[in-house]
Amino acid sequence: MNAIIVDDEEYARQALFFLIEQQCPQVTVKGIARSVAEARKILKSEKIDLVFLDISMPLEDGFSLFPDLEKNTTSVIITTAYNQHAVKAIRASAVDYLLKPIDKDELHTAIKKADEWRTLRSMSAAQFNNHAMVYNSLHENMNEIKAIRKINLPHTHGFHVVDVSSIMYILADSNYSTFHTEPGDKIVVSKHLKEYESILEDCDFCRIHKSRIINLRHMISYSNKNGLVVKMSDGSEHTVSRRKSPKFMETARRIFRK
């Protein structure tokens, strides 16, 4: 894969360049850009498969480069020193990212995923169009870092881009998570429930059982008559485990005081 590095910090650029040179023989760095403007020039003159992109840069931030990347099958790996809320936005959008300082094993994993995604996009027109939706949802999420607005749920040929507010609850089934959304759709994702627990914890979601997370905005009632049970807007009922009950009650009180 031909790659470029886009980062305004010299140390970060050089550190990543040498790490790729030493650890990733399948990647050739064709250029190093200090700004989005420099990156555009390289993209026009070289066939680039992968961009390592810093988001926080002066003049133009990394998002300004997305329209140029949407025109082809270039994969993107975000390199960031952002705080945990920004990382949640990136993870919710299903874009690969590397936290600075970059770990070599995480670099290998991200490059492998980026290459697989690039291959899928080149084979499918639907997946090619999906590419733009992924970046759009990332930009929207990052505009208001603490409030994840959309979540990209991967499937075999791309992503379902879902409004977080439409998710009623998520059920775990072994290594899979099933999203139940309005108006009654089910989306199965091959990721553990824990992945989404951390992404959605600031979005009025609560894990009430080892196998389920609910959106408290879709809860219409709860009762502790025969154990703690919540009723959701679709009529379904879900038991809150004894261990999760204190956290559930605390979260519910906090949310409904808003």
77-118 pLDDT, tens digit per residue, is 888 876 565 677 677 766 678 888 889 999 998 898 888 777
Buried b (16+ CB within 10 A) or exposed e, 20-51: beeebeebebbbbbebbeebbebbeeeebbbb
Q: Which residues contact 168 (CB under 8 A, 6 or more apart)?
A: 180, 181, 182, 214, 215, 218, 232, 233, 234, 236
Cβ(209)–Cβ(173) below 8 Å: no
More confident residue, 175 or 71: 175
21-79 pLDDT, tens digit per residue, is 999 999 999 999 999 999 999 999 999 989 999 877 878 888 788 778 766 668 888 88
Indicate the pLDDT class of residue 156, thresholds 50, 70 and 90.
Answer: low
Q: How far is the C-alpha of 60 from the C-alpha of 58, rounded, in Å?
A: 6
Q: How far is the C-alpha of 253 from the C-alpha of 258, rounded, in Å?
A: 9
Residue type for position 87: V
Buried b (16+ CB within 10 A) or exposed e, 89-124: bbbbbbbbbbebebeeeebeebbeebbebbebbeee
205-247 pLDDT, tens digit per residue, is 999 999 999 999 999 998 888 789 999 999 999 999 999 999 9
Short-list 184, 173, 198, CA closest to 92: 198
The mean per-residue pLDDT over the stretch 162-176 comes to 92
Q: How far is the C-alpha of 152 from the C-alpha of 196, rounded, in Å?
A: 11
Residue type for position 152: N
Instruction: Report if pTM > 0.85.
Output: no
More confident residue, 150 or 178: 178
- Residue 62 has a pLDDT of 81
Q: How far is the C-alpha of 225 from the C-alpha of 189, rounded, in Å?
A: 34
